[in-house]
Structure 1
Amino acid sequence: MPHFPSPRTSPQETAAFGKAARHLIPFLFLCYILAYLDRVNVGFAKLQMCSDLGLSDTAYGTGAGIFFIGYLLFEVPSNIILSKIGARIWIARIMITWGVIACLQVFVSSEFLFYLLRFLLGIAEAGFFPGIILYMTLWFPSGYRARMVAWFMTAVAVAGIIGGPVSGSILASLHRIAGLQGWQWLFVLEGVPSVIVGIWVFYFLDVGPAHAAWLTEAEKKVLTESIAEEDRVLKQNRSTHHTLKDAFSSPAVWILSAVYFSIVMGLYGISFWLPQIIRETITTEVSAIGWISAIPWLAAAVVMVLNGMHSDITGERRWHIAVPSLVGAVAFSLSAMPFVSGWYGIFTLSLATAGIMSALSCFWSLPPAILSGTAAAAGIALVNSFGNVAGYVSPELAGMIRDATGGRMAPVLALFSFGLFLAAMLTIYVTGRYIRNVPSVAFQVQDP
């Protein structure tokens, strides 16, 4: 099984990595909040948009999920371009274009336009998340990475905490203002900030530690030597792949893709359908739906950070992914029971959301353990792209099942439960067979 012990650090190294984290993580956190809001705010728009446009649950599910088809087709080339030209230019491009397209959803007037703009939004956002994960490998070695990724990925939970009340308030307070429906205002007001921050990215992000004017020369030396030492050790290991071809031919990469696919099934089940579940079981008032929807994400934000920190402290990855996945599977199974609804349902869905996000916070420590160089860029993008096909499959299947069963949600929740159980089993398998021989690296950089 993989074992990455918490790094033994000098005071200088601790200070350098701490400074890098304080500078980068809050900004990347903001970027990902905006990305996730623009990706999933359609779940709140559904509360008004479907009735306005006459969309069925299946049509909504297709439109929500078709985002990931565009995302999949352009993910790998986008991430390879990022690795060649640098994060500052490419991530700025990604954010500006997705913000513009998010705003253009105000013009949706038919099923076709809904599908088209969601597809274009996926193309625009392709490369953002794996690009950020790759960017973090330039700054943080494996002993720090799960903690950094956990903090970064709490943006998904915070997007739920903030996005729910904000989206609900927009729908309730701006409905039919200036000739626009509430869902149209939602797309505009949550799309414009992405354009603004995208411009900011160009001036804020550096290519790597060696180019960071806000670091001292000693701090640059600490960070660059730590990253270089880890890369050297990984390249010496026979199970680590270095070429673009190896990224696509590695069985471990495809199994990790399946793990991510299974977890993401549940993630987007919550993201796209939670407002509807609340509407059907607790209240129809859109503002209240927004506030209630924040509860599962609040629980997830706390638990996922604790899980990521404990994983780094102990150096253990396998069970910090598998156990949360199993907890999420059990919670989804319980929420599918007919006697579990209303506030009891919110409790079980909170457990499921916490399990999903905790597993994800540690998952992204695994791909860099088997890949390096160009293969890392392609492999991380491949895992994220294939896994995110679940972003299409999840809402599409949910909509079809609901239309076929008269609007029942229990079979959908059972599907998400199975996905998380499969993720746990595959995690145990892949970490035992393919990643167990990756060496541990204790980073100790002496005073310059």
Structure 2
Amino acid sequence: MGSFEQGDAQTLQLEKEVHGGRVLSKLNNHVIPWLFSLGLLCYLDRTTLSFGAIQLNHDLGFDCATYGFGAGIFFVGYALFQVPLTLGPQRFGSPVWLTGLCLLWGVVTAGSAFLIRGPLSFYLLRFTLGLAESSTFPTMWYHLSLFYSPAEMGGAYAKVSICTSIAQVLGAPLSAGILRMNGVLGVHGWQWLFLLGGGATFFFAIFLCMFLARDPRSASFLTPEEAGWLDARQAASAQASSSHPSKLRAMLDVARDWRVLYLAGVWLLTACAMFGIMFWAPLLISDMFNAGSAAAPKEEGASCGGGHHAVASTSTVALLTTMPYVAASLGSLANARHAEVRNERRLHAAVPLVAGGVLLAATLPVQRTLGPAAGFACLVMAAGTVWSFHGPFFTWPAVFLKGSTGAAAFALINSVGSMGGFAGPYLIGTLSQRLGGYGAPMALLGALLVISGIALLFYPVPGCTPGGPGLLGGDGVGERESLSPIAGVHGVEEAVHTRLLQRIPSSDVAASRGRRPGSSNSARQFQD
């Protein structure tokens, strides 16, 4: 039997034995849970500060400006080191790299319980934590790209990124319980938050290194046939779209790519609002229900826990903080699913930002006019809409960039946007202290969200061809790149077949088809 006949028989046998839907289901059951859990711990450790803010500010005497700067400086370290550290997983493998990061930020978080003694130590530890967590999400994005096709990345990343809101949903009641340990063994409640959070992360890192598969070939949950099929599919996708000779060149190229820089600018503005909400929600909610009117000026400025509220109320505030993130979790899942069904990114990313901006700006005026419950409802709806833009937005780079280049683009977007994570909390702290309330800061962050949404509506879509989708229609994916994971599964057999055919001499392929090697219907055309 000739080489083609043998290769063709192997190809057909492989395609017959492997069911794409079953492989996708295995990936969802074995890859997603580990990355979701890691992201969950990452955000819990990152935002533990917000739940302990009232107690911490009270015990250490921090004012709003000090707390806001300390919350925000985390993102300076995060932004400075994110892109350089993205080279790590490609050199050492995602499991090893993520384990190292996990161990580092676990130690820093636990150490913060006793090392924070004043503003300087507070700033230094928050900066170090940002450095430690900086490449976590780009590494998880890169790891997903090793297993999922671009068409499947939207749903896969949405399942992982929802951890950002779930962390708050779980973190609020957990924090409420832990804060009640205030005084146990002579340790403050906010110190217990850091100790237990950092310890849990440290132990999780050990299991992560043991059980997270490095790539399709090393995935023990796949059969040898499934592993080979998935490896061939991913290699074919990477080869078809990769044109960068080195990782350094890929980083330099994405830094000059207007498509990436445009998305980075949008994320910068959006992150100002999202992280502002994240770090100030407990304090804002505390003012809403305990101070009569969070928008009303106060002679001593907005309350930051420095004595205006009883420390005993912090556990109740932590529980109330759950509600915005329940809405955020449900909104993220619903919007990501609807984006897949409609095969559309632009409107599913832009509309939530505009709606969320309007609701956020209206929160305190509504609270002042209709009462705390109505204002709180606005805040809950704002979180539910704003967080839902994650899935459609962060999978856009996978449409026009692949492999290490896509990971570098994701890191650059996240890195630039992370400066918004510094600006948002710091602006709220400074403005609320100077103006005596949260009204102006919330209105400013709402306006930034509206601007971000409008910018996405006019994003010059990558991949649009003349006569294709207009500025306000579609997302440039079209027939070339489906958002639906079902469509990705159906197209998988062709990807595997193409990859395997590349290993067979073109003369054998042409002979088997009864055509000349140079004919237009050769294997090369099949590949195209």
| Short-chain TM bin | over 0.9
Q: What does residue 429 of structure 1 align with? A: 458
Aligned pair count reads: 433
Partners of 1:79 and 1:131 within 8 A in 2: yes
Matched, 1:444 2:492: yes
Secondary structure of the residue that 1:174 maps to in structure 2? coil
Query: How far is the alpha carbon of 1:426 from its aligned partner?
Result: 2.0
Query: How far is the alpha carbon of 1:250 from its aligned partner?
Result: 0.6
Query: How far is the alpha carbon of 1:368 from its aligned partner?
Result: 2.0
Query: How far is the alpha carbon of 1:40 from its aligned partner?
Result: 1.0
Partners of 2:250 and 2:408 within 8 A in 1: no
Distance 1:274 1:243 in 2: 38
Distance 2:352 2:237 in 1: 28
Secondary structure of the residue that 1:269 maps to in structure 2? helix
Query: How far is the alpha carbon of 1:124 from its aligned partner?
Result: 0.9
Shift of the 204–319 alpha-carbon distance from structure 1 to 2, 3 Å rule, reads same
Shift of the 339–227 alpha-carbon distance from structure 1 to 2, 3 Å rule, reads farther
Partners of 1:153 and 1:361 within 8 A in 2: yes
Distance 1:187 1:129 in 2: 21
Partners of 1:20 and 1:139 within 8 A in 2: yes
Which stretch shifts more, 105-114 or 421-430? 421-430
Query: How far is the alpha carbon of 1:440 from its aligned partner?
Result: 2.2
Q: What does residue 135 of structure 1 align with? A: 143
Distance 1:55 1:373 in 2: 45
Map residues 408-419 of structure 1 onto 2, 5 A cutoff. Answer: 408-419=437-448
* Identical columns (%): 29
Partners of 1:146 and 1:309 within 8 A in 2: no
Query: How far is the alpha carbon of 1:39 from its aligned partner?
Result: 0.5
Distance 2:107 2:266 in 1: 32
Map residues 74-93 of structure 1 onto 2, 5 A cutoff. Answer: 74-93=81-100
Matched, 1:336 2:361: no
Query: Could you give the per-residue CA deviations for residues 132-187 of structure 1, whole angstroms, max 9, x where no partner exists?
Result: 0111111111222111111112211111111011112211x211221111111111
CA RMSD of aligned residues (A): 2.1
Of 398, 401, 409, the residue aligned with 2:431 is 401
Distance 1:85 1:434 in 2: 32
Which stretch shifts more, 143-152 or 333-342? 333-342
Q: What does residue 327 of structure 1 align with? A: 355
Partners of 1:33 and 1:155 within 8 A in 2: yes
Query: Could you give the per-residue CA deviations for residues 80-124 of structure 1, whole angstroms, max 9, x where no partner exists?
Result: 111221101100000010000001111211111100110111111
Partners of 2:18 and 2:229 within 8 A in 1: no
Q: What does residue 39 of structure 1 align with? A: 46
Matched, 1:296 2:337: no
Matched, 1:73 2:80: yes
Distance 2:403 2:159 in 1: 25
Map residues 197-276 of structure 1 onto 2, 5 A cutoff. Answer: 197-235=204-242, 243-276=250-283
Query: Could you give the per-residue CA deviations for residues 292-348 of structure 1, whole angstroms, max 9, x where no partner exists?
Result: 111111111111111111111221111110111111111112213132551212211
Partners of 1:272 and 1:395 within 8 A in 2: yes
Residue 358 of structure 2 aligns to which amino acid in structure 1? Answer: V
Query: Could you give the per-residue CA deviations for residues 19-57 of structure 1, whole angstroms, max 9, x where no partner exists?
Result: 111111122111111100110111122111112111110
Q: What does residue 100 of structure 1 align with? A: 107
Partners of 1:40 and 1:272 within 8 A in 2: yes
Secondary structure of the residue that 1:295 maps to in structure 2? helix
Secondary structure of the residue that 2:163 maps to in structure 1? helix
Distance 1:398 1:341 in 2: 22
Distance 1:79 1:122 in 2: 14
Which stretch shifts more, 298-307 or 228-237? 228-237
Q: What does residue 485 of structure 2 align with? A: none
Residue 149 of structure 1 aligns to which amino acid in structure 2? Answer: Y
Query: Could you give the per-residue CA deviations for residues 216-273 of structure 1, whole angstroms, max 9, x where no partner exists?
Result: 1222133223323433443489xxx973221111111111111111221221122101
Residue 265 of structure 1 aligns to which amino acid in structure 2? Answer: C
Secondary structure of the residue that 2:214 maps to in structure 1? coil
Q: What does residue 388 of structure 2 align with? A: 358
Distance 1:135 1:426 in 2: 29
Partners of 1:334 and 1:340 within 8 A in 2: no
Query: Could you give the per-residue CA deviations for residues 174-203 of structure 1, whole angstroms, max 9, x where no partner exists?
Result: 112211111111111111111111111111
Distance 1:211 1:141 in 2: 18
Distance 1:414 1:249 in 2: 33
Tell me, which stretches of 5 or more residues in structure 1 are unaligned? 1-9
Query: Could you give the per-residue CA deviations for residues 369-416 of structure 1, whole angstroms, max 9, x where no partner exists?
Result: 23234322322111111101111101111100011111x111111111
Larger-Rg structure = 2
Distance 1:341 1:63 in 2: 31
Distance 1:328 1:94 in 2: 33
Distance 1:425 1:207 in 2: 39
Map residues 145-224 of structure 1 onto 2, 5 A cutoff. Answer: 145-171=153-179, 173-224=180-231
Q: What does residue 6 of structure 1 align with? A: none
Query: How far is the alpha carbon of 1:72 from its aligned partner?
Result: 1.1
Which stretch shifts more, 11-20 or 393-402? 11-20
Query: Could you give the per-residue CA deviations for residues 201-221 of structure 1, whole angstroms, max 9, x where no partner exists?
Result: 111112211221220122213
Residue 347 of structure 2 aligns to which amino acid in structure 1? Answer: W
Distance 1:418 1:201 in 2: 40
Of 316, 321, 333, the residue aligned with 1:305 is 333
Distance 2:449 2:242 in 1: 32
Distance 2:239 2:340 in 1: 21
Partners of 2:64 and 2:433 within 8 A in 1: yes
Query: How far is the alpha carbon of 1:429 from its aligned partner?
Result: 2.5
Partners of 2:18 and 2:225 within 8 A in 1: no
Secondary structure of the residue that 2:481 maps to in structure 1? coil
Secondary structure of the residue that 1:178 maps to in structure 2? helix
Distance 2:440 2:419 in 1: 20
TM-score, normalization by structure 2: 0.78
Matched, 1:115 2:141: no
TM-score, normalization by structure 1: 0.92
Partners of 2:40 and 2:163 within 8 A in 1: yes
Matched, 1:18 2:25: yes
